[in-house]
Structure 1
Amino acid sequence: MFAGAWSACYSAAVGLVAKEKNVVLPANTAIDIEVDLGVTGNAYFLQARINLVAPGLDQEVAYAIAHEADQICPYSKAVRGNIGVVLKAITA
């Protein structure tokens, strides 16, 4: 549920950033967020992977949008520094 809510929030942030940059996102743009629960000894931890999938969009533009969206998304802000997050922009 956490990943689903984060994905919806991040998706809105991507839309806002794209609009600010005057970038039209491809119709098949998608956000894929995977959150893992891990264990080290007796301690549990979370880690996440965020993929902005924007087929056909310029790689540098997609990367910039992905990272700027991460800066304004409330869920991303809430976990920053607390869990490991890998962010990717996939354009192919």
Structure 2
Amino acid sequence: MKIFYRTRATATGGRSGHTGLDDGSLGFDLVSFQEQDKEGVNPEQLFAMGYAACFDSALSMTAQHMKLPVTASKTSAQVGIGMKADGSYNLEIELSVEVSGIDEAQAQQLIEATHQVCPYSNATRGNVDTRLEVTVV
């Protein structure tokens, strides 16, 4: 695989510690999802933000490739964490996409095609339950 970009982040203290980019440009205090009364973010929130941004960018690129006249898009990623029957933890994801400029059939084709090229989708495919929802506005 040809690498276009690489970054590195380091976490200390797990879900109650700190994480940040090694270049110092961004960092967050972490809290467990069970500690919502404390200030900070949790890994699922950070993952949701990254997935939403990546998918929305991939959608724009895919729309251009498919020659679809998308005039605007917005992607929301809802990430949940839970325990599987075997006692291990896993994520579940719901991607909600709003698009304008195309009809519903085109929008459905677009998000399915985008799901095939988005790096986050490719990284989670087969091991994370992911649902896609599209709305034309």
TM-score, normalized by length of structure 1?
0.88
Quote the offset at 1:57 in angstroms: 3.0
Runs of 4+ in 1 over 3 A off after TM superposition: none
Q: Are residues 1:20 and 2:65 paired?
A: yes
Distance 1:12 1:38 in 2: 28
Q: How does 1:26-37 map to 2 (within 5 A)?
A: 26-27=71-72, 29-37=73-81
Letter in 2 for 1:48: I
Distance 1:59 1:37 in 2: 30
Unaligned runs of 5+ in 1: none
Distance 2:100 2:76 in 1: 14
Distance 1:16 1:55 in 2: 15
Distance 2:84 2:112 in 1: 29
Distance 2:70 2:96 in 1: 15
Unaligned runs of 5+ in 2: 1-45
SS of equivalent residue, structure 1 residue 18: helix
> Which gives a bigger RCO, structure 1 or 2 (Cα 8 Å, sep 6+)?
1
Letter in 2 for 1:22: K
Quote the offset at 1:20 in angstroms: 1.3
- Give the aligned partner of residue 85 of structure 1: 130
TM-score, normalized by length of structure 2?
0.61
User: Number of matched residues?
Assistant: 91
Distance 1:45 1:11 in 2: 24
Quote the offset at 1:56 in angstroms: 5.8
Quote the offset at 1:7 in angstroms: 1.1
> Percent same amino acid among aligned pairs?
26
Distance 1:40 1:72 in 2: 27
Alignment deviations for residues 8-27 of structure 1 (CA, whole Å, 9 cap, x no partner)? 11111100111112222233
Letter in 1 for 2:75: I
- Give the aligned partner of residue 102 of structure 2: 57
The structure number with the bigger radius of gyration is 2
